[in-house]
Structure formats: C-alpha cells, structure tokens
Amino acid sequence: MLLPVPTYQSKSACSSCNLAEICLPINLSEFETYKLDELSPVKRSFSRSDYLYRSGDKFRSLFAIHSGSFKTQILHEDGREQVTGFQMTGEIIGLDAISTDIHACEAVALEDSVVCELPFNKLEALSREIPTLQRHLHKIMSREIVRDQGIMLLLGSMRAEERLAAFLLNLSQRFAARGLPATQFELRMSRQEIGSYLGMKLETVSRAFSHFQAQGLISVKVRTIEIVNLAGLQACLNSSRQ
Amino acid sequence: MLLPVPTYQSKSACSSCNLAEICLPINLSEFETYKLDELSPVKRSFSRSDYLYRSGDKFRSLFAIHSGSFKTQILHEDGREQVTGFQMTGEIIGLDAISTDIHACEAVALEDSVVCELPFNKLEALSREIPTLQRHLHKIMSREIVRDQGIMLLLGSMRAEERLAAFLLNLSQRFAARGLPATQFELRMSRQEIGSYLGMKLETVSRAFSHFQAQGLISVKVRTIEIVNLAGLQACLNSSRQ
DNA sequence: CATCATTTTTGACATATATCAAACCTGTTT
DNA sequence: AAACAGGTTTGATATATGTCAAAAATGATG
C-alpha cells in the first residue's frame, strides 16, 4: 500500500466528544480515561472554505477532526501553493506547527465540519503521565512522516495516471475504514485541488479521470466516483515504467 | 526558505558522545544532563554503502548522526525506489519507524560515518521525566514533517532546475550551520541519487548542473561544487512559471 | 426559468523532461 | 601504464504533461 491508511475505530455515535474513543482511539484504564478529561477539549464548527488555522498563526492546539474534512496547504512566497493533504474524520491536524510554534501551513474546511481542539500543553502534560497516550502521540506523528514520504514517492517516481489511481485507492480505503462504501463516494475537493496535491494540472486530472472511465475502471460524474474495477485500478499502480 | 535547516549547535570536539550537546542539543540542568546518561547511547561506525537499517527491520532505536552522512530511501514493490532524504551530522534518523515498530525505509551510509544509538524506550521514559526533552523530541518529529512537506512542495510545483537550485541552497545552509564553507563543498551522493530525491532523471540533473555552470551560477567539477553567484541561484527559485 | 459564475471537459499545440545512445572522466586494479 | 568499472556529460529524439482556448456542465441567485 502506497499511501498509509490511518487506523480509525468508530464506536457509537458520539455527540459529546468522547476523546478516548474518537479523537484518540486508544485503550486506556478507567483512571486514565478520567485523566484524559483534563484535556477538556472544545468542539468547534466550520463551514465550507473556513480556515481552521492560517499560515503564521501561533500554535496552541492540535485538532482532531470530529466530522467533515479539511485540506492543508503550504503557500510559497511566489504565490505557488501546494496541497499537502486531505484530512477526514478521526484524523489529527496541526502537527507541523509543533516544530516552530507557528503554523507552517493552513487548514481549510472542504465541507461543514466539526473539530475537537486539543491544547498541546495539556496533551504533553498528560502524555507524561500516561505512557500509552505518549506512545500514541508519537505514533501519530510518525505516521504523518510515513504518509508524507509516501507522497514523496508518488510525486517523485510515478506518472500522472498512477498518481491519480493511488489517490483514488487511498480515498477508497479511508472511506472503508470509516464504514462508508469503498467503491462509491463523493469527492470533496476540486480538480484543481487534486492536481495540486498530486503535482499535476487540473486538465491532466480531468483527462486521467476520463481515461479511467473509458477503460471501464471507474465511473465519474463530476465529483461522484464509483470504482468499477478495483483490481484494474490497482494494476495501474504496478504496471509502471520500471 | 524552502527546505528547513535543522538547528544544530556544534560545541567542542566530542570524542565521547556528549548527548546533551551533540545528539540532542538542548539546555538542561545538571541533574537532567545526569539523567540523560541513562540513555547510555552506543556509538556505531559504518563504512560507505553500509546499511544503518533496512526496510522491514524491527524498530528499537533512533540514531543521531555523529559524523558522516546517510541517505534514506523507500522501496516500492515494483522495484521503484525513492530517496527520501540526505542526513548529515547532528540530524536524527529513524523517526518513520515509530508508527509501526518496523522500519519503513532504509538508511545507507554515503561515507564513513558514526552514529549514536538512542534506544527509543529509554528516550520515551526519560522524556516523561524531563519535559524539555519531551518537547525537544516533539519538535524533532514535527520538523521532519515540515521538511517532508517542503519536499512535497518542491516535487509538486517546481521545475527541474528550480528543484536543483533549492537542493544546492539547502545543502549550502546545512554546511554553513555546521561551520563548514557554505559556497564550496563535496557532494556525497551520485547524480542518480540526487535525481531520485528530486524526482528527475540523472541526465536531467547533470544537464541542470551544466546549465547553472554556463550561467555562471556555480562551478561544478563532478562532485565538487562551488556556488559562485548565491543570489543568482536564489533567484532561480523565485523566477518560476506563475 | 433565465442569468451568471464556477468548475469541468475536451481539443490543438507547445515544451520540459525522459529515453536511448555514445563519448568522456575518474579512480581502481592488474 | 593499460585495462576496467562506474559514474558523468552530452546529443538526438520521443513523449508525457503543460498551456491556451473554447465549449459544456453544474450550481447559485435573482
């Protein structure tokens, strides 16, 4: 698997943000779960295209996405921008800012979304007391590193259609991990945003979609995607120029 | 600044690995420095092209590069490989493996090198006791995330010559941060390895070097590089298509 | 429903980079 | 010194993807 699929376990519907289950899905003792309440996370709602944080903002918290989805992007001086990721329910966002205490990238809601704010000071204090939480936090950060390196592999050594295939397969697995249909889903992002993420122009993204459809691998209707031939799409990835 | 330059402070020559100064350059109290000895790091030597670890190896330790340099690379099933980074003295290597307890990539010495092995269990235990160390570890991991995202920007939105310019400028800054000449240095890696890292073929790397030389920006003699016109090289970066 | 703005698709063409091939270095071994 | 291997440079050509432009689809608004 090229792009790693973060582990995620959905439990019961959680209207009051149950940290131990949703935001930080780990197994803790009753006492530890109690301690975790010290985080006293706040939930915040965002509408489509709202900023969760902007580049240059002071870093205070990590955010666990409770529902909805976001994109993160870096802005380069000369106006270039690069989407560095699309995040969905259960994923943690904001890790890049720990290094400098300033957000290096910005996070924008792709749809109406709710996030759970996790003050980083408290998270660090708690993880000194709860080794399981400490290890979990380290794994989350490491997983982000592995994810980013997977994208480096993708950008550095795959051609356009392979990249798009990898992207669709990754989305498919992440939807499946959330109990959603794996072969039929709505894209929350534009061709332009997909292109930025995958290092290609929006026209190339569109052409690749059309080509996959012509090959009978998928069915595209603007942002509604159905994967018709999963194995075929996976084969796209391996059938590369050496 | 595109590619982040890790902070690094060289102190006196350290023949016995002084952790607090070299491997983990942070300010600690005397007591904390004493505690840090509990890590009892082991130094290990490697010759050029030796593996520090291989993909699939069980994860036990992070490694601080004491002298020399390494490359890290991911191997894809179909034989493709992607260099994900070049690491030099003072940098920490192995963070990707925390997420799964298995090394996802492999690290190969680019020259004779010495590393300082930091058992991760002990590092975690210590960082529960020493908040400064905990924060430092988090910053190191976050910095790796930022670095990787910088490379995503590079791979996703820059053309070949811009990427090479960014690479040279980054190397230059990292040498300077170590008290080495910023405008004259030896490349430790082949054109092929640079190409893999920057998402281009070795011939394209070679041509870009030649072109920079023809423009009077640098002087190349195989692996000996001299930056003749630093500002000109920086201008390469900003003068991008749109 | 008509209009408008935005996004998406498709086409024709341009170009950056890959590919293939040969010559040239550089350092090492015999 | 000669021969060799691996890396590097350079050239000719192919091709994937970008660029520019127009049409088509979609969704929002009055």
| Statement: the CB of A241 is under 7 Å from strand C | yes
A120 is written with which tokens? Answer: 């980083």
CB count within 10 Å of CB B235 equals 12
User: Which chain B residues have a beta carbon less than 8 Å from that of A162?
Assistant: none
Contact check, Cβ <8 Å, A82/B152 = yes
Q: Scan residues 117-146 of B and list those with Cβ closer than 8 Å to A.
A: 124, 127-129, 131, 134-135, 138-139, 141-146
Identify the CA nearest to A120 among candidates A26, A32, A39, A16. A39
pLDDT in tens, chain B (242 residues): 456 565 443 333 333 455 655 566 677 777 777 777 777 778 999 999 999 999 999 999 999 999 999 999 998 877 778 999 999 999 999 999 999 999 999 999 999 999 999 999 999 999 999 999 999 999 999 999 999 999 999 999 999 999 999 999 999 999 999 999 999 999 999 999 999 999 999 999 999 999 999 999 999 999 999 999 999 999 988 765 44
- Per-residue confidence band for A33, with pLDDT thresholds at 50, 70 and 90: confident
The CA distance from A24 to A134, in Å, is 11
- List the B207 CA – D10 C1' distance (angstroms): 8
Mean pLDDT of chain A: 88
pLDDT at A17: 56
- Among candidates A129, A141, A148 on the partner chain, residue whose Cβ is nearest the Cβ of B149: A148
pLDDT at B30: 75
- Among candidates B76, B95, B143 on the partner chain, residue whose Cβ is nearest the Cβ of A153: B76
pLDDT at B81: 84
Specify the nucleotide whose C1' lies closest to residue B222 (CA): D8
Q: Scan residues 67-86 of B and list those with Cβ closer than 8 Å to A.
A: 74, 76-82, 84
Give the mean pLDDT of A182-198.
97
pLDDT at A12: 30
Percent of chain A predicted with pLDDT > 70: 88
| Coil, strand or helix at A106 | strand
Contact check, Cβ <8 Å, A152/B157 = no
pLDDT at B15: 37
Model confidence over A208-223: pLDDT tens digits?
999 999 999 999 999 9
Is 0.95 topped by the overall pTM? Answer: no
Specify the nucleotide whose C1' lies closest to residue A190 (CA): C7
The residues facing B64 across adjacent strands are B92, B116
Contact check, Cβ <8 Å, A149/B84 = yes
Model confidence over A62-89: pLDDT tens digits?
999 999 999 999 988 777 789 999 999 9
Strands (E), B7-122: 42-46, 51-53, 61-67, 69-75, 81-88, 92-93, 106-109, 113-119
